[in-house]
Chain A
Amino acid sequence: MLLWGSNAREAHPIYFHHLLKGIEAGAKLFCVDPRRSSSATFADVWLGIDVGTDIALANALGREIIHAGLADRAFIEHSTSNYEAYAAAVEPYTLERAAEITGVPAPAIAELAHAYATAEKAQILWTLGITEHHNGVDNVLSLCNLALLTGHVGRWGSGLVPLRGQNNVQGGGDMGALPDKLPGFQRVDDPRDRGRFEAAWGTPLNPSVGLNLTEMFEAMEAGTLRAVYCIGENPADSEPDIDHARQLLRGLDLLVVQDIFLTRTAELADVVLPASVAWAESEGTVTSSERRVQRVRAAVPPPGQARDDIEILVDLATRLGQTWPNTTPEALWDELRGLSPLHAGMSWDRLDAEQGLQWPCPSLEHPGSPFLHDWLWADDLDDRDPAPFMPCEHAGPAEALSERFPLRMTTGRVLDSYNTGVQSDGYESPLRSGNALDVSPADAECLGLLDGERVLVSSPRGQVEMPIRVQPNLPEGLTFTTYHFSDLVDINRLTNDTHDPKSGTSEFKAAAIRIDKLTNDMLTNDAAVVEPASHA
């Protein structure tokens, strides 16, 4: 198991139990992470790469696998394309060069390459450490290349496993909550796909691809996006360069927020629609990381004026002059099954009886699909094109370290808190110690800082005051914090809003910062520094 850019122990604690079972059964765990995270403490080998050097490491692994003769030639021949270009692209990534870029000793890189390539079964698991970079898509592709090189994909025990942060992130995308997709990953700009929905709904649909979140903020800035209907998202806390983001939200003509809590974004809204909690007060389905669609059932009625998301949307449609027919959860699900071939075979009864089904499940007779990519092993590839290698080049973080901002700051999650804290801050936790900036012992000593000391942390975008925590799990030069506690410290004042144009995801994982000791002058005047942006 190769856990890469993921602290699943804390961010995916339930899933991590499955990894622990594997470890118990004798599986080896390699962990690639700039920090020796709590997940890495379970690993046989921890490779502490420098932030943003994932592609250099992946390419060097690929080169070593090729040079050691460990590539699965038959699989490459049969199931992939573009191998020659990939082999040429990784050729410059010698172990020595990768060691220089990543900071991890060359023999350990070779060891990982051999262990991965020669394992009977091997999985690469990743999360935001891979994706929250300005080149996150390339990071993912560089890992996919390794699976194609060794045939560790599309069969039992092997595969590529991006861990989802919530029980239904997968379901959100499946249902079309993407700017370019309709439900079932059908393209909104493909006339045939779109036509199916237009016929079913009896209305023409906007054929142009929409905006992702990052682009929306750009559009707000450009003045072309004037009204936002925000459902279950808290951008006023979660966006990078947060002062700027809040300013843009405040400048909208109309902001409608539908959420289960009065989030900071909701505080900025013109209209707030209180919603019921999906996993306790609503009927419907969720879809897990392994594409398994499962039923969820309401256990309690929603409190006060909170209403089910479907009811709110249906009422809104009614106010807008539409009459939507049967909108029970089952009727809506059946409508989806008629429109999304991936889900066609998943009747409500089957979901109940079979405790969930994995898509694709195109017919009522179909058992569901445990492997998305088992076609790679079919004699005729199921008439598909072979999977292409996608060569990628190392780029490093967008924001280089400088004399002014000499330290790297990366962000992540901790066990007992969740994202911006909307859903977790209301609960006490004996583990929670508030927001601090983790600093390596070497840096703390160099800067003359004591554990717990409050400092001024600055990036090119802003500055916050916060305490430091001296943590031995960090290499020199790296700092780490979370953004669970935006009430305490607005960490996204510091993060970089540079984003990957292919995914729209910002580079939360790599900012350049400096740490300054607080002078007496600042100590008396700290309110000016830490005061959260006033709410509209």
Chain B
Amino acid sequence: MPELHLTDDSANDAERVAIDAVIDAPHLDGSGSALHFETERLARGGMAKAAGLRHLLLPSLHALQRASGWISPGGLNHIAERLQIPPAEAYGVASFYELFRVEAPEHDGPAFHVCIDAACQLAGANEQIEQLRRDGANAHASPCLGQCEQAVGVFVQRRSVDGVDTAGSTPDPDAAEPVIPQQYDPALRLLRRVDRHDPASLQGYVGVGGFKALAAALRMGPVGVLDAVTVSGLKGRGGAAFPTGAKWRAVASEVADQKYVVVNADESEVGTFKDRYLLEYDPFALIEACVIAGFAVGASKGYLYIRGEYPLAAHRMQNAIEASRNAGFLGPRIARSSLEFDLEIRQGAGAYICGEETALLESIEGFRGEPRQKPPFPTTHGLFGKPTVINNVETLLNVLDIMTSGAEAYAALGTADSTGTKLYCVSGNIARPGVYEIEFGRTLREVLELAGPFDGEPAAVLLGGGAGTFVLPDEFDLMLSFEATRASGHSLGSGVIMVFNSATDFGAIVTRLARFFRDESCGQCVPCRIGTVRQHEILVRSGGQPSSHEVQLIDEMDKAMKDASICGLGHTAATAVQSAIAKGLIGAPA
């Protein structure tokens, strides 16, 4: 974009070096300055070029944040000039994200983001923030960090001079403690390689059967892969349960000069951390699945969008991408075939809404992560307007099994409408929180028994995430499948199973959930922007115990948000609150 009006602020050397390193590094969709003076009298640039390089904005902002600890005006000017983006617009993007600070930090040290959402709230997050502050640390309350199984979750954001970002407790390689509670369970499918190989080693991955699925896929050909994924009955694990085969077929049938595979690893639903395990402990598997997806739909480029609060996942994935490239599993002529596919990581910067697939695409493209109006769907108009397969991490990993064991064998697991296995994120008042994998069609009680015993008397389970519903103990025999949960008015969502015991202040839990949606609404649709605020206000005003009149107000707002918001955030922002009211966990008794 042209006509930049820059202020006098200029970047310091460290900022310039960091930003230039990102802009000039090779990227899948181009890099370098959007404006180039060949001589004093010849310049190349223009809107087309600036638009084509806009996707470098998000990584540039990350570089600046890391270099300076904030989005300084001088650094922002430097980015704006190199990418030819009006600084006001770049500022608008920066200020959209939680992890970008647009005001000078008062504190030189690292920023401690402390999760205050449900599981961490139970575990004493607020006390931890106070403690950190008393110790002189720069502590912020943060929405869910995806560390619910090790609550209280903390994410430490550092400047590059102070080292790398860290999240949670640093895993101790020599610890006897298994990474997942079901370690070595022969029934594991998605989790079977976790802690069975060195996630930093491609050879290690090959040693546990890695890249056999790709070999099988290459033998089947793209049509064979599409058929297998369709026959397998695989449905999306991100929450919407859309048939993966249908999605892939739609993209495969599009004619375009470029198609994309995008991995949604922006796992931000309250209580969700399963994809983090896959990214951290089985990174090559995700790469293999992406290559197969690209092969099936005819896409030669892929983006892996990982939430910014997962530094270890990003690090291990980056390492795996480089190792795969060196070994010929990414890039041109993959596995000595004519297949070409490459993958690039994009890190989110703290925005729940970017888990919505079109918001995620906007975020990669360098815009504020605001969901798009649909249709058109990403299958026809996705990343950079091109046909795009966008899948959740867990969904993609299922493809490996479908390739190696065959679609029929895969479909034999689970129920008729929910095939395969499902990962669950168990947290809260229970003995062994963590990620669990079981076949569809088993009951909630069975999962709870795997992770049990309960800590105290169970009062309710939040099923599906912050946008999910409460399940009371008398419903624990609920069968876990897409169809059974739907039939009983619940949803599997992202596989969250968060346990609350009878000591829980549900008013506080629900008020915090309302606050979460208030903060995370992108503000694009008025009903959601206003409705999430009003809902939270009602809960604050009533101390988490809304009167019957207030219950009616929440219900009306829920209807407006469902009717007139363009994305799922607005559609489900009142779901947990409504559920808590319906189940008598909050509010005046009916």
Q: Could you tell me the distance in whole angstroms from the C-beta of A452 to the nearest C-beta in chain B? A: 13
CB distance B45 to A475 under 8 Å?
no
Knowing A23-B47, A38-B3, A44-B48, the reply to whether A475 touches B42 (Cβ < 8 A) is no
Instruction: Judge if B257 is at the interface, Cβ distance under 8 Å.
Output: no
CB distance A44 to B42 under 8 Å?
no
Q: Which of A9, A42, A48 is in CB contact (< 8 Å) with B42? A: A48
CB distance B3 to A26 under 8 Å?
no
Which B-chain residue is minimally distant from A40 (CB atoms)? B43
Stretch of B33-41, B440-448, B476-484 that contacts chain A: B33-41
Interface centre among B41, B45, B49 (most CB of A within 10 A): B41
Knowing A38-B2, A38-B3, A42-B2, the reply to whether A104 touches B48 (Cβ < 8 A) is no
Query: In whole angstroms, how far apart are the Cα atoms of A29 and B45 in the complex?
Result: 10
Instruction: Judge if B46 is at the interface, Cβ distance under 8 Å.
Output: yes
Contact with B along A505-519 (1 / 0, CB 8 A): 000000000000000
Q: Which of B42, B45, B49 is in CB contact (< 8 Å) with A104? A: B42
Residues of A within 8 A of B38 (CB): 105, 108
Contact with A along B32-66 (1 / 0, CB 8 A): 00000011111111111100000000000000000
Instruction: Judge if A312 is at the interface, Cβ distance under 8 Å.
Output: no
Chain B contact patch, size range = 10 to 19
Query: Secondary structure of the B side of the interface?
Result: mixed
CB distance B40 to A476 under 8 Å?
yes
Q: A-B contact count, CB below 8 Å?
A: 61
Q: Which of A9, A24, A38, A45 is in CB contact (< 8 Å) with B43? A: A45
Which B-chain residue is minimally distant from A104 (CB atoms)? B41
CB distance B46 to A29 under 8 Å?
yes
Residues of A within 8 A of B49 (CB): 44
Contact with B along A1-26 (1 / 0, CB 8 A): 00000000100000000001001101
CB distance B40 to A26 under 8 Å?
no
Knowing A38-B2, A38-B3, the reply to whether A45 touches B44 (Cβ < 8 A) is yes
Which A-chain residue is minimally distant from B39 (CB atoms)? A105
CB distance A45 to B40 under 8 Å?
no
Query: In whole angstroms, how far apart are the Cα atoms of A476 and B84 in the complex?
Result: 23
Interface centre among A40, A42, A48, A103 (most CB of B within 10 A): A42
Query: Secondary structure of the A side of the interface?
Result: loop
Q: Which of B42, B45, B48 is in CB contact (< 8 Å) with A41? A: B45
Knowing A38-B3, A41-B2, A41-B3, the reply to whether A105 touches B42 (Cβ < 8 A) is yes
Residues of A within 8 A of B42 (CB): 45-48, 104-105, 108
Query: In whole angstroms, how far apart are the Cα atoms of A102 and B43 in the complex?
Result: 15
Query: In whole angstroms, how far apart are the Cα atoms of A105 and B40 in the complex?
Result: 10
CB distance A46 to B43 under 8 Å?
yes
CB distance A103 to B48 under 8 Å?
no
Query: In whole angstroms, how far apart are the Cα atoms of A36 and B46 in the complex?
Result: 12
Residues of A within 8 A of B47 (CB): 20, 23-24, 42
Residues of A within 8 A of B48 (CB): 23, 26, 28, 44
Residues of B within 8 A of A103 (CB): 40-41
The size of the chain A interface, using a CB distance under 8 A, is 27
Residues of B within 8 A of A38 (CB): 2-3
Q: Could you tell me the distance in whole angstroms from the C-beta of B50 to the nearest C-beta in chain A? A: 9
Interface centre among A46, A47, A102 (most CB of B within 10 A): A46
Q: Could you tell me the distance in whole angstroms from the C-beta of A37 to the nearest C-beta in chain B? A: 10
Residues of A within 8 A of B44 (CB): 44-46
Residues of B within 8 A of A40 (CB): 43
Q: Could you tell me the distance in whole angstroms from the C-beta of B49 to the nearest C-beta in chain A? A: 7
Residues of B within 8 A of A42 (CB): 2, 46-47
Which B-chain residue is minimally distant from A27 (CB atoms)? B48
Q: Which of A33-74 contact B (CB under 8 A)?
A: 36, 38, 40-50
Knowing A23-B48, A26-B48, A42-B46, the reply to whether A48 touches B3 (Cβ < 8 A) is no
Interface centre among A41, A45, A476 (most CB of B within 10 A): A41
Query: In whole angstroms, how far apart are the Cα atoms of A138 and B45 in the complex?
Result: 30
Q: Could you tell me the distance in whole angstroms from the C-beta of B455 to the nearest C-beta in chain A? A: 58
CB distance A43 to B40 under 8 Å?
no
CB distance A43 to B45 under 8 Å?
yes
Contact with A along B118-149 (1 / 0, CB 8 A): 00000000000000000000000000000000
Query: In whole angstroms, how far apart are the Cα atoms of A304 and B43 in the complex?
Result: 53
Query: In whole angstroms, how far apart are the Cα atoms of A26 and B49 in the complex?
Result: 11
CB distance A475 to B46 under 8 Å?
no
CB distance A45 to B46 under 8 Å?
yes
CB distance B43 to A36 under 8 Å?
yes
Query: In whole angstroms, how far apart are the Cα atoms of A383 and B41 in the complex?
Result: 45
Residues of B within 8 A of A102 (CB): 41
- Name 19 A/B residue pairs within 8 A (Cβ), A-sorted: A20-B47, A24-B47, A28-B46, A40-B43, A41-B45, A41-B84, A43-B43, A43-B46, A46-B42, A46-B43, A48-B40, A48-B41, A50-B41, A104-B41, A105-B38, A105-B39, A105-B41, A105-B42, A476-B40
Q: A28-B46, A28-B48, A44-B44 are in contact. List 6 more A-B contacts (CB 8 A).
A: A41-B3, A45-B42, A45-B46, A46-B43, A102-B41, A475-B40
A residues sitting closer than 8 Å to B (CB atoms) are 9, 20, 23-24, 26, 28-29, 36, 38, 40-50, 102-105, 108, 475-476
B residues sitting closer than 8 Å to A (CB atoms) are 2-4, 38-49, 84
